[in-house]
Structures are given as structure tokens and as C-alpha cells.
Amino acid sequence: MKENATPVQMNSTKWTKLVAPYKEEAFETLKKFVSIDSVLDPATQSEDKPFGQGVDTALQFVADLGKKMGFHVDRCDNYVTELTYGEGDKILDIYAHADVVPVKRENWTADPFVLRLEEENTMYGRGTSDDKGPGLACLYAVKALMDQNMLGGYKMRFLFGGNEENDSLCLKHYFEEMKKPYPTLGISPDADYPLIYAEKSIYAYEASYPVTILGLSNFQLGAALNIVLQEASCEVSLHQDKIVKELPLYLERHKKVKATFDGKKLTFIGKPYHGSMPWNGVNAGLYMLHFLGEVFGNQTLKNIFFDYHDGMGEHFHGNFKDEHFTETSYNVGRISYDGTKLTIAVNLRFPSSMKVEPVIENVKKGTKAEVTLLGGSDGFVADPDSDFVKILLNAYQQETGDMVAKPLAIGGGTYARESKNSVAFGAQFPGRDYRMHGDDEFFPLSDFFDNMQIYAHAIYDLSEYLRSGKKPF
């Protein structure tokens, strides 16, 4: 499989040399980390394993690694693994996560929990780029700085959370329940370069519609709200002949989606994508509803498709914008039907300058659905001209030579929103798409190593800034 994995042209600097001795160990550690299936597992959740066995194993892996590296380790009620170094009134936080999104193993070229290296530079595996790879790249950069006594004069907290891919209950517990202080500055290696200065507000809601369709069995589709539905299926006991006749014609009109019918079970196959940009995916569930609406003559099912298939809510005038954000997104991540009611669960992302209430009211008014807000978190806009942002941008520019890329405003949510005085910094380079929530997620090995170089530079400069109060350039 050929990916966009051509090595980035990096500058050779003192940071290149600093991290070089740690590359092999970092790569071997990543192999072990990726081998842990750390998807949220309700079946094994308990009071002492709040996110299930797999996530707990991953958090303990980080704890053991941190102890070996010389950090003070705290499992934080098994919500977060906290690695600390140094003391002081000022705090520098780094936020990574040990949990990963679900996989559909049959859609992967090989086992998603075995890191495989192809064409000498492409690492495949769930979590390679989101976020085990970037987290370890940053951690080994910190280790390189520690070993050269280049840190200190403040307290560093390196946190690996266990629930970033769902509701970030890990950091909520850390700050709200454990009452840990917010940092002076914080970064999260869990997004894009050169850095993220603004994030949309992210909420979830359910929209229900009274629907009864004779011949359609109950069904439940989807798991995580932040992934475009890749597969959808249901069983039908009426209109089979019509389905056999109409399905090929439907697929001819809608070439993005695939579907099969065996006389009883109807299955649609789409394309998964991150829920922040559903228009880059193909939502199998929405197409299935649309087709069923045509076969059974149900306008409600067709209307749901019209309302949500573009991912921006244009059909019900829900595409809100502002000076930082160019669109609103609506990802239908779950769909269920119980014989009398059809319910969709939606991951909603909108400009942080807005309140959630008018956005939800617009959904109610525009779609005629019964809407229930499930919760969420507000976004933020950091000052792009602050010393903090300039320090990070300078480190990226000096190591890469890229003077063109500018700080970004994104729809994706990172740990930065759960903290204060924090932004996401890396690890995806401009022009890359690591398929972070899709099949065959990957991370170029060279990008993994290049991130170590950038993070070493940035963290050292932030350290100097915390110690002196002045930019080190």
C-alpha cells in the first residue's frame, strides 16, 4: 500500500543530534504500545478500571515506562497516568492519550494491533498516529532533555489519559474531581502542525422521529459518535422483490456507497472518517435510511438523509461560521430503530463564539425532530500573537524550515479544551492524512522521529520561557 510517507525535509540542528540516541528505543516501545488493544470496553469496566481492561493495561504500560525513565508516577484513580518531573510554582503540562478508537478488523490489511513497517518508512497500526506514536515521540524528547539536565525550575506533568476518544472523562476527573491545578502552559501532541490556536465547541445530541415501518426489523448501528458510520445493516421481511430490483439502480445513482441484499439482510458499506469532517467520509447508515425511505415510501427517512448527508447542516440552515471557523459539522455516528421510533445520535461541532442553545434550537426547528442534548464542551480561541504561540511556531519553523504554514483553527477536539492556557501542537505535518480514525491508520517512521526533534526544541524553549519570563529568541 502506497501512502504519502515521503520524509519531510528537516533541518539538521542540535536537536537532531540530541534525540538521535533515543530513536531505536522509542520505535521498539511504540511496537509494544500499539500491541495493546486500548479501545473503551464497557464489558470490563469497573470502579478500578473505569474505561475497561485494555485502557487500564495501556495506562499501566505508560506508568511502568515512566518509572523506568525517572519520572514520579501517579495512576490518578486509573483515569490518567501522570508522570512528573521537577518542582516549582509554574507548571508545564503535556497531554497525550493511551486510548484508541474502535476497529473493524476485517477492513484492515493486517492485524491493527500489530505494528508493521512497510516500504521502510510506513508504520501501520491503530494508535500509531492517534495518539500513541505522537505521545511517545514527545515523551522521548522529554527524556532526552532530562538526561542532559535541560529541564527544571518548574514542574512538568506529562499526562496520558484513558478516555480522549469518547468524553475525555479522564481529564475531567483529573481537574474537577482530583482538583489538580491547571497549568501555566500546556501542549497536546494530538493534532496538526504548525499548531492549533482554536477549536470548535463539541457537543452531542439525539434526534428522535416517530416511525413505524412494517417489514423492517429493529436495529442498532454505530459505536463511537466521532467516526462516520462505515457499515449499516438491517433485516427486512417485506418488499424483497422491490429491493432486488431497485438496489442496483440506487447504487448506479449513488456511486460513493456500496450495498448488498441476500433476500433478508440489507447491508450498506461506506467510508469511515473523523467525525470533525464527515464530508470526507461516506455514511453508510444515512444511505441505508435513504434507500429504505424510497423502498417503503417513508419521507421521514429520506428527510434525515437530506438533512445530514452533507455533514454541514445546510438543508436546515445549520452551517454556522465566524472569523476563525469556516463551517459547522454534524456527524451521525449512531442510528437505532425500535419499531415505533428512529433515533440518530449526532456529533456536533460549531464555532466557539456561539452558545450551544441556539444551535440546538435551530436543529429542532429545521428538522422537526425531538432533540435531546447529551452534553459536550466549549471550544476556545487562543491569542495567535502570544509569546506562547510564537515560541511553538518558532520551534516548528526552525526545525522544518517551513515558513508558510500558519496556526490553524480546527473542528477536531483535543485535550487542550479540557485544560487552560493550552494548545495542540503537532504531530501531523501539513499535507499528510494519517487516516487517524479510519482503516489502516498509519504514521511514517520518519515523521515519528522528526516529531522527537521538534518537541525537544519546543519544550526546551518553553522551559526557558517559564524560567525567565522571556522568549528565548
- Domains in the chain: boundaries: 14-198+380-468, 201-377
Is the bond into 395 cis (omega within 30 degrees of 0)? no
Give the integer Cα–Cα distance in Å for 304 and 399.
48
Question: What local confidence, expressed as pLDDT, does residue 223 receive?
Answer: 83
pLDDT at 76 over 70: yes
Q: Which residues contact 424 (CB under 8 A, 6 or more apart)?
A: 187, 188, 189, 190, 191, 192, 195, 196, 199, 410, 414, 415, 416
pLDDT at 306 over 90: yes
Question: Which of 55, 59, 51, 63 lies closest to 37 in space, CA to CA?
Answer: 55
Amino acid identity at 364: K
Q: Mind listing the pLDDT tens digit for each residue in 368-406?
A: 999 999 999 899 999 999 999 999 999 999 999 999 999
Please compute the mean of the pLDDT values over residues 249-254 and round it to a whole number. Answer: 98
Question: What local confidence, expressed as pLDDT, does residue 452 receive?
Answer: 98
Note whether 14-198+380-468 and 201-377 share their fold.
Answer: no
pTM of the model: 0.84
pLDDT at 412 over 80: yes
* Contact in structure between 147 and 20 (CB atoms under 8 Å): no
Q: Mind listing the pLDDT tens digit for each residue in 98-123?
A: 999 999 999 999 999 999 999 899 99
- Give 4's pLDDT tier (boundaries 50, 70, 90): confident
% pLDDT > 70, the chain = 99
Question: What local confidence, expressed as pLDDT, does residue 415 receive?
Answer: 94
Question: What local confidence, expressed as pLDDT, does residue 266 receive?
Answer: 98
Question: What local confidence, expressed as pLDDT, does residue 106 receive?
Answer: 93
Give the integer Cα–Cα distance in Å for 439 and 133.
17
CATH number for the domain running over 14-198+380-468: 3.40.630.10
Give the integer Cα–Cα distance in Å for 388 and 368.
45
- Give 166's pLDDT tier (boundaries 50, 70, 90): confident
CATH number for the domain running over 201-377: 3.30.70.360
pLDDT at 224 over 70: yes
Q: To the nearest whole number, what is the mean pLDDT of the chain?
A: 96
Question: What local confidence, expressed as pLDDT, does residue 405 receive?
Answer: 97
Question: What local confidence, expressed as pLDDT, does residue 473 receive?
Answer: 64
